[in-house]
Structure 1
Amino acid sequence: MKCEPITLGDKLTPPVSQKPRFKVGAWLRNAVYSLLNLALLTAIFAFPLWWLLMRPNMDRNLMLVLLTTLIATWLFVYRRRRATKATPARTHSLLANDCQGFMRDLRLDTKTVVFDGSNIYHFGHNNGLDAQPLGMIVHKLRTEGYRIICFFDANIYYTLCKHGAFRSDQQHSLAMLEDIFGLRRDEIYVVPSGVQADKYVLDCLKHLPISFAVTNDQFRDYAKKYPTVMKGNQWRKGVVISKGEIKLQQHRFQNPTRLN
């Protein structure tokens, strides 16, 4: 009987298949490939020695052709042998690149807010508020009972340093993001360099059924890849500043979030 997944790790981890039955045909095939592989490798190394010691007068071109044939045959057998081996299932990127190790334990029945952290930080910076909007929204939604996940692009440390959040000679650490944005260690996910956080945000929304994103990015480039996620107008909440308050579109805070 198949059990329903409880956590994100349950959902994204491939099921462990039962131990396969012993198959005589597969065993014989692997045994033949192994013996051929060993025999050909032995021949490849022994053949030049035999040529030099026992038949030094044999035509060199003929010897090279025979040696090349042996090597080509070994490569063919080696690749066929590898092709018969089962390829292990790859770990989903949300779990594989989670340096803090908290994503696996996220419950699917918990209401979750997925932040596009770099996007909201840039919104704050462009409005002269830097980290304040992101920190205030995180705190507000956390007090309303939401689980927080905040994705940052890999260059977030460089961006913060460029904007004067810390000195250039300071070593980058997760504690910096905790302090600057008021986040907890198990709420921060910095994606690997060379990729954007967008895909991670959308993947998270796809696999967490009770969730929405906080971002001003509409992710138009991903509409075809994530049609079920980007359906309607409830999957993302944009951030706006109006009359001295930080507001989320399509969401009303229990209490106003006023800027100091």
Structure 2
Amino acid sequence: MPAESRPSWARSRSQEDADRAARGCSTVISAMSGFGPRSGSSPDRVDLAGNRNLLLASRRSGTEHFIMVSMHGAAENHPLELARLKYEFERELMSAPLAWTIVRPTVLTETFAAVIGAPMRKSGVALIFGDGQQKINFVSVHDVAAVLVLAVADPALRGKAIDMGGPENLTMNQFVAALRSRYGSSGATVHIPCAVLRMVTSWPALAPDSVRRTVESALHLADTGHSLDALPARDAVPDVPLTTVSQAFALL
């Protein structure tokens, strides 16, 4: 991290905290999210309201450049709430009176490696939602971090939304096999049928909202996949590495 950069810790729902975090910053990078059962919050409170607070704070403090980590495929009519809220804030940021850059990563390699790898390393069991046959594009957090650093320094990336994918489209079965190879793990791979996932999403009483949102996301990937030809979008950032899944695993 450059010497003049600093991380700031703040409660996303607090405008006072956001004002303090943005004070004196020429560039603000927001990678906040309320998604997931361990987030302690929700996408509407963090990905939308929290980003709104931070954007207002950035405008008040005279910030020149706001960089947002969104998600690939964010759209008004996306089936996932998170993607719809990311899109809503993207529109607000694009119309704000300051420079902006939006980075839209696909599925993060290291996130899934942690989710699948923790039980695998403990018991040898790997859980896969659905049959694991849909192709998914995985991008490493190292690549995403590199493009964020570049966006801070390169004025040519201002006013641009960058679709950030990785070099590989793998099935979840292939992903798990590569992760087993990395850890030298053997054991059962359990496929949870999509019908079970639909039951959880259809009956709110079965799980808290945070878990339901996670299951909805897993069901979306299991049903439709998320493949991408990432190379054309990488033309805008040719110096950013193209980290394969195996290379990312080696860095875990």
TM-score over 0.5 for the alignment?
A: no
Q: TM-score category by the smaller chain?
A: under 0.3
TM-score, length-scaled by structure 2: 0.26
Larger radius of gyration: 1
